[in-house]
Amino acid sequence: METDQAPRPITPEECVVTRTLTFVGSRWTPLVIWHLLDGVKRYGELRQALPGISPKTLADRLQALEERGLVTRTVHPEKPPRVEYALTPRGFALGRILDDVARWGEEWEDAD
């Protein structure tokens, strides 16, 4: 979003912000990232922290985050195996932006 000369005309498909927001804005994704900002979480902990999310949706969101390098999935070879999810540096960088969005939303929603 270089703004020192007039921005050139682009379509939503060419817009990195639109592409990013389309992914990050998908239902539950911001909340999954938000809870992982708090630290490593097991699948069960995330399910408890996300009232109403289905097991499949949570698994899909975690897989999508993992595929984009935002989350790591670590399987500890215990009986039963312990599976933990954590944000990567890329994920934390996005989490901080979502924090800014939260502050923006809280500041301006109160003003209404």
Q: Which residues contact 90 (CB under 8 A, 6 or more apart)?
A: 68, 69, 70
- Our CB check for a copy of itself shows the closer of 73 and 103 to be 103
Torsional class of 86: left (φ above 0), alpha (ψ -120 to 50), beta (otherwise): beta
The pairing of strands 71-76 and 41-42 is: unpaired
Segment 11-40, which members bind a copy of itself (CB under 8 A)? Answer: 11-12, 15-22, 24-25, 27-28, 30-31, 34-35, 37-38
Site residues for a copy of itself, 50-89, by CB under 8 A, read 50-52, 69
Q: State the residues that interact with a copy of itself by CB under 8 A.
A: 1, 3, 6-7, 9-12, 15-22, 24-25, 27-28, 30-31, 34-35, 37-38, 48-52, 69, 90, 93-94, 97-109, 111-112
